[in-house]
Structure 1
């Protein structure tokens, strides 16, 4: 079992676009320790990226690039038949865009976490996983790579020499092979806060998760993903923080924290 007394809380942020607003970024940010900022392919735009980075820096939250598939209409959650070379190029392009925004605001990037379908594809496809890991390694090898616990992505990161964070999900059900239940299937999402919190505590403190089929699978929980686009996301985040504190689990940024930014002068 991979039990832990510390854990990171991350959330996908900056997923508004133009005139459309998604999520409760301003309210959720203080409850997190790391934020995955959309880089414009599946969501986000230059102004939203900058605003989100500013919020994270003000709250002392670690900033991660959140590259996705080029699919605004499908929010990056639809599989695409891409090659490993395309996955590499997409990752480099989006990482570079957010890195520039973070640097302009006087901050430092902390990690990279793929989004949606790209994330799930890389969890089981070794070639895609290796391409994403290589992209990060060649651009900013000091950053952490967030990936599904025990997946091809975390294996690829560790193999190439990246620091990796094994990620678990509070509101998703699991399959016996450790993958997430596809969203299109029944019971893919956990809608009860009590059930979701119990699952998180089992994964963090016990090092295991109960699958949709009722079996128990060992799991490593370095970071827990909270989805910020749910109707009760803010209340759930507060409840989870309270439950973790009550269980003696310290919520903190994984690995070395980014340096505190100097004033931008604007």
Structure 2
């Protein structure tokens, strides 16, 4: 049976502020990436999100980002590989503590936003992030953009690199995500998102807005939890997979 992992970035509020419908999304997912306090999240929300994810039987990942709450971690910052190593190790260690205190084990790490995209293009940053993950726990998987430098560096280091694709984001002919704010960067049609999901999972590729076919290794599919249509998109995608006879399961 063909299977794929459905993951979502959750726990991205802080203090009294909440973003998205985390618990409503969880029944449709197989893994979650929980914010670790830099771009979003705080200790109480980290603990609560871990508990909810475990109650739903989900694999848990850490979602470290740049220290940029105002920009939600989506603005590029000039950081060195050493700084990337330090901020990833710090954040993942914090989330790992909450997971272990709950009697479970952290499964993976997935960088957030600008850090994720910078590492997909910059081998030096990618290597530093992968090294931080390996130094903390070499059993951890590293979710990374399909075809990007972070996926390559993770696998070169001996980590389990999980190739990630996006159901609600547009791709360029180079296989990179189109920058937010450019035409086609965000898919706001449920039908288009479902069609892209099935193309990625069954055909291991996607059509760009200008008509190019891009081959992409799709081991895990991200559904963003902070969009206005997040819950309806996620429900529709889960239903489409079921109807197509495709299972939803976290990477072994």
- Which TM-score band applies after superposition, normalised by the shorter structure? over 0.9
**Within-5 A mapping of 1:16-27:** 16-27=13-24
1:130 aligned to 2:148?
A: no
CA distance, structure 1, for counterparts of residue 141 and residue 217 of structure 2: 16
Partner residue of 1:142?
139
Partner residue of 2:245?
248
Partner residue of 2:72?
75
Q: CA deviation at 1:246?
A: 1.1
Relative contact order: is structure 1 or structure 2 higher (C-alpha 8 Å, sep ≥ 6)?
1
Partner residue of 2:91?
94
SS at match of 1:52: helix
**Within-5 A mapping of 1:132-171:** 132-171=129-168
Partner residue of 1:30?
27
1:106 aligned to 2:107?
A: no
CA distance, structure 2, for counterparts of residue 107 and residue 81 of structure 1: 35
**Within-5 A mapping of 1:187-266:** 187-255=184-252
Cα deviations by residue, 1:53-98 (Å, 9 ceiling, x for unpaired) = 0001100000000000000110000000000010000000001100
CA distance, structure 2, for counterparts of residue 232 and residue 46 of structure 1: 27
Q: CA deviation at 1:112?
A: 0.2
Q: CA deviation at 1:231?
A: 1.6
Cα deviations by residue, 1:223-251 (Å, 9 ceiling, x for unpaired) = 00001111221111111111011111111
Cα deviations by residue, 1:200-230 (Å, 9 ceiling, x for unpaired) = 1111101111112210011110000001111
TM-score (norm. length: structure 2): 0.98
1:182 aligned to 2:182?
A: no
2:40/2:69 contact within 8 Å kept: yes
TM-score (norm. length: structure 1): 0.93
Q: CA deviation at 1:20?
A: 0.8
Q: CA deviation at 1:164?
A: 1.3
Gaps of 5+ in 1: 256-266
Q: CA deviation at 1:102?
A: 0.7
CA distance, structure 2, for counterparts of residue 188 and residue 245 of structure 1: 27
CA distance, structure 1, for counterparts of residue 176 and residue 184 of structure 2: 14
Gaps of 5+ in 2: none
CA distance, structure 1, for counterparts of residue 148 and residue 209 of structure 2: 18
Q: CA deviation at 1:186?
A: 2.1
Q: CA deviation at 1:184?
A: 2.4
SS at match of 2:107: strand
Superposition CA RMSD, Å: 0.9
Q: CA deviation at 1:187?
A: 2.0
- Following TM superposition, where does structure 1 have runs of at least 4 consecutive aligned residues deviating by more than 3 angstroms? none
Aligned match for 1:62, one of 54, 59, 62: 59
